[in-house]
Copies of this chain bind each other. A is one copy, B any other.
Amino acid sequence: MADAANKCARQRFLEFLAQKNLRMTGQRRAIIETVFSTEEHFTAEQLLEWSRRRDKSVSRATVYRTLPLLTESGLVREMDFGKEHKFYDPNYAEHPRHNHIICQDCGKIVEFESEKIEHVENEISRRLGYAVKSHRLQITATCEEFRQRGKCSKKRP
């Protein structure tokens, strides 16, 4: 099922490139394949490393030049989790409105959608004179394991 969706995301990105008269290159192909075959959030550096496994010629500069295209297309979103570097989330192609719950201890992230929240957001915004275009909701929380054991096994240092 991820495959069908990924094919779709890739397809959409190709259309985005075509629309802007941008060219398909081997490096871009490697980067795009990498991005849309994971559901994990990644950093620029990780994307470089993973893309290089597909095509050794991918350079850091090209990764940094491709990332803005990906975010501009709306298929990938830049995330700030308060870490030293930015993360990128490739799941906006499939779930354009999803939110995040992050475990305070281990950093494990769960994604969810909520029409109820969106409804309240729309209502409040309208009352304040705004029309919602997009939203970004991050919940910091403790996961079950943390509350039971005092620490998470998934924690990485």
Query: Residues of A at under 8 Å CB distance from B?
Result: 78, 80, 82, 101, 103-104, 110, 112, 114, 116-117, 120-121, 124-125, 128-144, 147
Residue of B nearest to A112 (CB): B124
Summarize A's interface: helix, strand, loop or mixed: strand
Which residues from chain B contact A103 at a C-beta distance below 8 Å?
130
Asked if A137 contacts B134 (CB within 8 A), the reply is no
A80-B80, A117-B120 given; A134·B140 CB < 8 A = yes
New contact pairs (7) apart from A129-B144, A132-B141, CB-CB < 8 Å: A101-B128, A125-B141, A130-B143, A131-B141, A132-B139, A134-B139, A137-B138
A132 cross-chain contacts in B, Cβ below 8 A = 139-141
The 9 closest A-B pairs by CB, nearest first: A80-B80, A130-B141, A129-B144, A136-B138, A135-B139, A137-B137, A134-B140, A133-B140, A132-B141
Smallest CB–CB gap between A107 and chain B, Å? 13
